[in-house]
Protein backbone atom coordinates (compact mmCIF):
# COMPACT_ATOMS: atom_id res chain seq x y z
CA UNK A 1 0.00 0.00 0.00
CA UNK A 2 2.70 2.43 1.03
CA UNK A 3 5.11 3.71 -1.63
CA UNK A 4 8.02 5.86 -0.46
CA UNK A 5 8.39 8.88 -2.72
CA UNK A 6 11.92 10.17 -2.29
CA UNK A 7 13.44 11.39 -5.52
CA UNK A 8 16.76 10.11 -4.29
CA UNK A 9 18.00 6.96 -2.70
CA UNK A 10 20.81 4.73 -1.67
CA UNK A 11 20.94 3.18 -5.14
CA UNK A 12 21.94 6.54 -6.58
CA UNK A 13 24.59 7.01 -3.91
CA UNK A 14 25.87 3.51 -4.50
CA UNK A 15 26.34 4.26 -8.20
CA UNK A 16 28.50 7.22 -7.31
CA UNK A 17 30.34 5.17 -4.72
CA UNK A 18 31.43 2.62 -7.31
CA UNK A 19 33.22 5.28 -9.29
CA UNK A 20 34.85 7.06 -6.33
CA UNK A 21 35.45 4.44 -3.67
CA UNK A 22 39.20 4.74 -4.05
CA UNK A 23 39.22 8.49 -3.52
CA UNK A 24 39.92 9.68 0.02
CA UNK A 25 40.36 13.03 1.68
CA UNK A 26 43.18 11.73 3.90
CA UNK A 27 46.45 10.01 3.05
CA UNK A 28 49.55 11.18 1.27
CA UNK A 29 48.07 13.90 -0.88
CA UNK A 30 46.10 15.57 1.96
CA UNK A 31 42.85 15.17 0.09
CA UNK A 32 43.71 17.57 -2.73
CA UNK A 33 42.90 16.63 -6.30
CA UNK A 34 44.86 17.85 -9.31
CA UNK A 35 43.42 20.18 -11.93
CA UNK A 36 42.95 17.31 -14.29
CA UNK A 37 40.81 15.61 -11.67
CA UNK A 38 38.19 18.39 -11.60
CA UNK A 39 34.64 17.11 -12.08
CA UNK A 40 32.82 17.81 -15.34
CA UNK A 41 30.05 19.76 -13.57
CA UNK A 42 29.56 21.67 -10.34
CA UNK A 43 26.76 22.89 -8.12
CA UNK A 44 26.50 25.18 -5.08
CA UNK A 45 25.66 24.08 -1.56
CA UNK A 46 22.31 25.68 -0.76
CA UNK A 47 20.27 26.23 2.40
CA UNK A 48 16.61 25.27 2.14
CA UNK A 49 13.77 23.32 3.65
CA UNK A 50 13.60 19.67 2.65
CA UNK A 51 10.30 17.83 2.79
CA UNK A 52 10.08 14.08 2.25
CA UNK A 53 6.69 12.63 1.40
CA UNK A 54 5.23 9.14 1.51
CA UNK A 55 2.55 8.24 -1.01
CA UNK A 56 -0.28 6.00 0.14
CA UNK A 57 -3.44 4.69 -1.48
CA UNK A 58 -6.66 6.56 -0.81
CA UNK A 59 -10.29 6.56 -1.91
CA UNK A 60 -12.11 9.63 -3.14
CA UNK A 61 -15.70 9.60 -2.01
CA UNK A 62 -17.96 10.87 0.74
CA UNK A 63 -16.56 8.94 3.67
CA UNK A 64 -17.84 5.86 5.46
CA UNK A 65 -21.65 5.52 5.39
CA UNK A 66 -23.57 5.83 8.64
CA UNK A 67 -26.71 3.80 9.29
CA UNK A 68 -29.95 5.60 10.14
CA UNK A 69 -32.37 3.54 12.19
CA UNK A 70 -36.10 4.05 12.12
CA UNK A 71 -38.37 4.45 15.13
CA UNK A 72 -41.14 2.10 14.07
CA UNK A 73 -44.07 1.91 11.71
CA UNK A 74 -43.89 1.01 8.03
CA UNK A 75 -41.64 2.68 5.49
CA UNK A 76 -43.81 4.56 2.98
CA UNK A 77 -41.15 6.72 1.30
CA UNK A 78 -37.36 7.07 1.18
CA UNK A 79 -35.20 9.94 -0.01
CA UNK A 80 -33.54 8.88 -3.26
CA UNK A 81 -30.03 7.46 -3.30
CA UNK A 82 -27.56 10.25 -4.04
CA UNK A 83 -30.02 12.93 -2.88
CA UNK A 84 -28.94 15.67 -0.46
CA UNK A 85 -31.17 16.25 2.56
CA UNK A 86 -30.88 19.45 4.60
CA UNK A 87 -32.29 20.65 7.91
CA UNK A 88 -36.06 20.50 8.13
CA UNK A 89 -36.47 18.18 5.13
CA UNK A 90 -37.77 14.60 5.37
CA UNK A 91 -35.29 11.72 5.23
CA UNK A 92 -37.99 9.05 5.01
CA UNK A 93 -41.67 8.61 5.84
CA UNK A 94 -43.16 6.06 8.21
CA UNK A 95 -46.90 5.41 8.10
CA UNK A 96 -47.10 8.42 5.79
CA UNK A 97 -45.57 10.89 8.27
CA UNK A 98 -42.19 12.53 7.60
CA UNK A 99 -39.11 11.92 9.73
CA UNK A 100 -37.29 15.25 9.51
CA UNK A 101 -33.56 15.87 9.53
CA UNK A 102 -32.13 18.15 12.21
CA UNK A 103 -28.49 18.93 13.00
CA UNK A 104 -26.65 17.89 16.15
CA UNK A 105 -24.53 15.22 17.81
CA UNK A 106 -27.17 13.92 20.23
CA UNK A 107 -29.77 11.35 19.15
CA UNK A 108 -33.42 11.47 20.15
CA UNK A 109 -33.30 9.22 23.20
CA UNK A 110 -36.48 10.40 24.99
CA UNK A 111 -39.65 12.34 24.23
CA UNK A 112 -39.33 16.12 24.58
CA UNK A 113 -42.31 17.72 26.28
CA UNK A 114 -42.95 20.55 28.77
CA UNK A 115 -40.98 20.04 31.97
CA UNK A 116 -38.04 18.23 30.30
CA UNK A 117 -34.61 19.85 30.48
CA UNK A 118 -31.11 19.13 29.23
CA UNK A 119 -28.62 19.44 26.39
CA UNK A 120 -30.93 17.57 24.00
CA UNK A 121 -33.58 20.24 24.57
CA UNK A 122 -31.14 23.02 23.70
CA UNK A 123 -30.05 21.13 20.58
CA UNK A 124 -33.65 20.78 19.41
CA UNK A 125 -34.56 24.39 20.19
CA UNK A 126 -31.52 25.61 18.24
CA UNK A 127 -32.81 23.71 15.24
CA UNK A 128 -36.35 24.93 15.67
CA UNK A 129 -35.13 28.52 15.80
CA UNK A 130 -32.94 27.94 12.72
CA UNK A 131 -36.07 26.80 10.87
CA UNK A 132 -37.65 30.20 11.56
CA UNK A 133 -39.93 29.41 14.50
CA UNK A 134 -39.96 31.73 17.53
CA UNK A 135 -41.86 32.64 20.68
CA UNK A 136 -39.58 30.59 22.94
CA UNK A 137 -36.13 30.93 24.49
CA UNK A 138 -33.32 28.70 23.26
CA UNK A 139 -32.09 27.10 26.46
CA UNK A 140 -32.09 23.78 28.29
CA UNK A 141 -35.77 23.97 29.29
CA UNK A 142 -38.65 22.64 27.18
CA UNK A 143 -41.45 25.02 28.18
CA UNK A 144 -45.05 25.55 27.18
CA UNK A 145 -43.76 28.23 24.79
CA UNK A 146 -41.52 25.63 23.13
CA UNK A 147 -44.46 23.25 22.83
CA UNK A 148 -46.55 25.98 21.18
CA UNK A 149 -43.84 26.58 18.57
CA UNK A 150 -43.56 22.82 18.03
CA UNK A 151 -47.30 22.54 17.41
CA UNK A 152 -46.99 25.29 14.81
CA UNK A 153 -44.13 23.41 13.17
CA UNK A 154 -45.98 20.08 13.29
CA UNK A 155 -49.01 21.69 11.71
CA UNK A 156 -46.81 22.99 8.86
CA UNK A 157 -45.42 19.46 8.41
CA UNK A 158 -48.90 17.98 8.22
CA UNK A 159 -48.54 15.75 11.25
CA UNK A 160 -50.47 15.60 14.50
CA UNK A 161 -49.83 18.82 16.46
CA UNK A 162 -49.03 17.24 19.81
CA UNK A 163 -46.30 19.65 20.95
CA UNK A 164 -44.13 16.64 21.79
CA UNK A 165 -41.00 15.64 19.88
CA UNK A 166 -40.03 11.97 19.47
CA UNK A 167 -37.79 9.84 17.24
CA UNK A 168 -40.86 9.27 15.07
CA UNK A 169 -40.60 12.94 14.04
CA UNK A 170 -36.90 13.85 13.89
CA UNK A 171 -33.50 12.29 13.16
CA UNK A 172 -30.17 13.97 13.85
CA UNK A 173 -26.97 14.15 11.80
CA UNK A 174 -23.95 16.48 12.09
CA UNK A 175 -25.10 18.49 9.07
CA UNK A 176 -26.57 18.05 5.59
CA UNK A 177 -26.45 14.44 4.44
CA UNK A 178 -26.19 12.53 1.19
CA UNK A 179 -28.23 9.33 0.90
CA UNK A 180 -25.68 6.59 0.26
CA UNK A 181 -28.05 3.64 0.07
CA UNK A 182 -31.29 2.08 1.28
CA UNK A 183 -31.33 -0.60 3.96
CA UNK A 184 -35.11 -1.01 3.76
CA UNK A 185 -37.70 -0.83 1.01
CA UNK A 186 -41.08 0.81 0.89
CA UNK A 187 -43.47 -1.47 2.74
CA UNK A 188 -40.80 -2.82 5.11
CA UNK A 189 -40.81 -2.24 8.88
CA UNK A 190 -39.14 1.02 9.92
CA UNK A 191 -37.97 -0.34 13.26
CA UNK A 192 -34.40 -1.13 12.17
CA UNK A 193 -31.84 0.27 9.71
CA UNK A 194 -33.67 2.29 7.10
CA UNK A 195 -30.91 3.89 5.06
CA UNK A 196 -27.22 4.82 5.04
CA UNK A 197 -25.95 8.35 4.69
CA UNK A 198 -22.68 10.26 4.38
CA UNK A 199 -21.67 13.90 4.45
CA UNK A 200 -22.24 15.96 1.31
CA UNK A 201 -18.65 17.04 0.65
CA UNK A 202 -16.21 14.80 -1.16
CA UNK A 203 -13.14 13.79 0.80
CA UNK A 204 -10.41 11.19 0.71
CA UNK A 205 -10.29 8.20 3.05
CA UNK A 206 -7.07 6.30 3.74
CA UNK A 207 -6.72 2.94 5.48
CA UNK A 208 -3.30 3.60 6.97
CA UNK A 209 -1.30 0.70 8.45
CA UNK A 210 -0.80 1.19 12.18
CA UNK A 211 3.04 1.36 11.90
CA UNK A 212 2.62 4.31 9.52
CA UNK A 213 0.13 6.18 11.70
CA UNK A 214 2.71 8.87 12.53
CA UNK A 215 2.60 9.96 8.88
CA UNK A 216 -0.86 11.43 9.42
CA UNK A 217 -0.97 14.55 11.58
CA UNK A 218 -4.23 16.46 11.92
CA UNK A 219 -3.91 19.76 10.07
CA UNK A 220 -0.92 18.66 7.99
CA UNK A 221 -0.95 19.32 4.25
CA UNK A 222 -1.58 16.48 1.81
CA UNK A 223 -1.44 16.31 -1.98
CA UNK A 224 -4.02 14.20 -3.80
CA UNK A 225 -3.21 12.85 -7.24
CA UNK A 226 -6.33 12.05 -9.25
CA UNK A 227 -6.65 9.32 -11.90
CA UNK A 228 -6.41 11.94 -14.68
CA UNK A 229 -3.06 13.16 -13.37
CA UNK A 230 -4.37 16.41 -11.87
CA UNK A 231 -3.69 17.18 -8.23
CA UNK A 232 -5.64 18.78 -5.40
CA UNK A 233 -4.36 20.16 -2.12
CA UNK A 234 -5.93 18.92 1.09
CA UNK A 235 -5.42 18.68 4.83
CA UNK A 236 -5.53 15.76 7.21
CA UNK A 237 -8.84 16.16 9.03
CA UNK A 238 -9.05 13.09 11.24
CA UNK A 239 -6.79 10.24 12.30
CA UNK A 240 -8.52 7.18 13.70
CA UNK A 241 -7.72 5.94 17.18
CA UNK A 242 -9.16 2.46 16.63
CA UNK A 243 -7.33 -0.10 14.50
CA UNK A 244 -9.28 -2.64 12.48
CA UNK A 245 -8.39 -5.42 10.06
CA UNK A 246 -10.40 -6.29 6.98
CA UNK A 247 -9.63 -9.97 7.57
CA UNK A 248 -8.27 -11.88 10.57
CA UNK A 249 -4.81 -12.20 8.99
CA UNK A 250 -4.75 -8.72 7.43
CA UNK A 251 -2.59 -5.85 8.66
CA UNK A 252 -4.47 -3.60 11.10
CA UNK A 253 -5.17 -0.10 9.82
CA UNK A 254 -6.60 3.16 11.10
CA UNK A 255 -8.88 5.37 9.05
CA UNK A 256 -7.52 8.76 8.04
CA UNK A 257 -9.61 11.40 6.28
CA UNK A 258 -8.29 14.22 4.13
CA UNK A 259 -10.51 17.18 3.28
CA UNK A 260 -10.18 19.52 0.31
CA UNK A 261 -11.17 23.18 0.59
CA UNK A 262 -11.43 23.69 -3.18
CA UNK A 263 -13.61 20.74 -4.16
CA UNK A 264 -13.62 21.93 -7.78
CA UNK A 265 -10.01 20.77 -7.93
CA UNK A 266 -11.33 17.22 -7.56
CA UNK A 267 -13.06 17.43 -10.93
CA UNK A 268 -16.36 15.67 -11.52
CA UNK A 269 -15.40 12.25 -10.16
CA UNK A 270 -17.57 11.23 -7.24
CA UNK A 271 -15.61 8.12 -6.35
CA UNK A 272 -12.16 7.00 -7.46
CA UNK A 273 -8.89 5.51 -6.23
CA UNK A 274 -6.29 8.23 -5.63
CA UNK A 275 -2.70 8.59 -4.46
CA UNK A 276 -2.15 10.76 -1.40
CA UNK A 277 1.23 12.27 -0.52
CA UNK A 278 1.66 12.76 3.21
CA UNK A 279 4.57 14.59 4.80
CA UNK A 280 6.86 11.93 6.22
CA UNK A 281 9.61 14.20 7.49
CA UNK A 282 10.91 17.75 7.02
CA UNK A 283 14.01 19.77 7.79
CA UNK A 284 13.97 23.55 7.83
CA UNK A 285 16.94 25.68 6.80
CA UNK A 286 19.43 22.87 6.25
CA UNK A 287 22.40 22.70 3.87
CA UNK A 288 21.65 20.54 0.85
CA UNK A 289 23.26 19.27 -2.34
CA UNK A 290 22.02 17.03 -5.13
CA UNK A 291 22.35 13.38 -4.13
CA UNK A 292 24.63 12.81 -7.12
CA UNK A 293 27.19 15.20 -5.56
CA UNK A 294 27.96 12.68 -2.80
CA UNK A 295 31.14 10.65 -3.19
CA UNK A 296 32.08 7.55 -1.22
CA UNK A 297 35.31 8.05 0.71
CA UNK A 298 37.97 5.40 1.02
CA UNK A 299 37.94 5.92 4.78
CA UNK A 300 34.21 5.18 4.82
CA UNK A 301 31.17 7.42 4.75
CA UNK A 302 30.45 10.17 2.25
CA UNK A 303 32.03 13.44 1.24
CA UNK A 304 31.90 16.28 -1.24
CA UNK A 305 34.49 17.36 -3.76
CA UNK A 306 34.93 21.07 -3.01
CA UNK A 307 36.19 23.08 -5.99
CA UNK A 308 38.74 25.85 -5.33
CA UNK A 309 39.37 27.49 -8.69
CA UNK A 310 41.57 25.11 -10.69
CA UNK A 311 41.93 22.58 -7.90
CA UNK A 312 39.70 20.71 -5.49
CA UNK A 313 39.71 18.79 -2.25
CA UNK A 314 37.40 16.40 -0.45
CA UNK A 315 35.55 17.02 2.79
CA UNK A 316 33.65 14.45 4.81
CA UNK A 317 29.98 15.12 5.47
CA UNK A 318 27.17 13.63 7.51
CA UNK A 319 24.03 12.94 5.51
CA UNK A 320 20.51 13.57 6.78
CA UNK A 321 17.17 13.67 5.02
CA UNK A 322 16.90 12.57 1.37
CA UNK A 323 14.09 14.31 -0.56
CA UNK A 324 13.32 15.69 -4.01
CA UNK A 325 16.66 14.54 -5.40
CA UNK A 326 18.63 16.36 -2.72
CA UNK A 327 20.23 15.38 0.54
CA UNK A 328 20.84 17.20 3.80
CA UNK A 329 24.58 17.52 4.55
CA UNK A 330 26.51 18.80 7.54
CA UNK A 331 30.09 18.88 8.78
CA UNK A 332 32.92 21.20 9.71
CA UNK A 333 34.13 21.56 6.14
CA UNK A 334 30.82 22.37 4.41
CA UNK A 335 29.25 25.82 4.15
CA UNK A 336 26.46 27.53 2.25
CA UNK A 337 27.50 28.80 -1.17
CA UNK A 338 30.60 26.65 -1.65
CA UNK A 339 30.91 24.93 -5.03
CA UNK A 340 31.06 21.14 -5.16
CA UNK A 341 31.56 18.65 -7.96
CA UNK A 342 28.92 16.77 -9.87
CA UNK A 343 29.19 13.82 -12.27
CA UNK A 344 28.41 14.39 -15.93
Q: pTM of the predicted model, to two decimals? A: 0.70
Least confident of 97-106, 135-144, 183-192, 212-221: 212-221
* Distance from C-alpha of 289 to C-alpha of 131, rounded to nearest angstrom: 61
Q: Are 278 and 54 in contact (CB under 8 A)?
A: yes
Least confident of 32-36, 88-92, 110-114, 125-129: 32-36
> How is domain 66-198 classified at the architecture level of CATH?
Orthogonal Bundle (1.10)
Mean pLDDT score of the chain: 89
Q: What does the DSSP assignment read for 299-342?
A: TSSEEEEEEETTEEEEEEEEEEEEETTEEEEE-TT--TT-EEEE
pLDDT at 16 over 80: no
CATH number for the 55-62+201-280 domain, one of 3.40.640.10, 3.20.20.105, 2.40.30.170, 3.10.180.10? 2.40.30.170
Percent of the chain whose pLDDT exceeds 70: 90
**Residue 19: helix, strand or coil by DSSP?**
helix
Indicate the class that CATH gives domain 3-51+283-342. mainly beta
pLDDT at 193 over 50: yes
pLDDT number for residue 214: 86
pLDDT number for residue 36: 53
**Residue 338: helix, strand or coil by DSSP?**
coil
Closest CA to 322 of 343, 302, 300: 302
Closest CA to 37 of 340, 317, 310, 316: 310
pLDDT at 12 over 70: no
pLDDT number for residue 246: 83
Closest CA to 204 of 60, 55, 10: 60
Least confident of 8-22, 52-66, 121-135, 231-245: 8-22
Higher pLDDT, 339 or 7: 339
Count CB atoms within 10 A of the CB of residue 298: 15
Could you tell me the residue ranges of all domains in the chain?
Answer: 3-51+283-342, 55-62+201-280, 66-198
pLDDT-derived band at 5 (thresholds 50, 70, 90) equals: very low
pLDDT at 6 over 60: no
pLDDT number for residue 8: 38
Amino acid sequence: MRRVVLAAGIAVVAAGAAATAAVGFGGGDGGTAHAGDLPPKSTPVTRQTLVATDTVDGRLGYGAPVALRGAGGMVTWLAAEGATVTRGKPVYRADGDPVVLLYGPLPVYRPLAPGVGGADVRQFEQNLAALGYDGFTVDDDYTDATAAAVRHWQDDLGVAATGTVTAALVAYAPGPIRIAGHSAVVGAPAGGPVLDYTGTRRLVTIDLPVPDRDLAVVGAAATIELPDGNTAQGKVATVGAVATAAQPDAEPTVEVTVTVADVKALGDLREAPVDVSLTAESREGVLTVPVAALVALAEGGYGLQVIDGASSHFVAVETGLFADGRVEVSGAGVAEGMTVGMPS
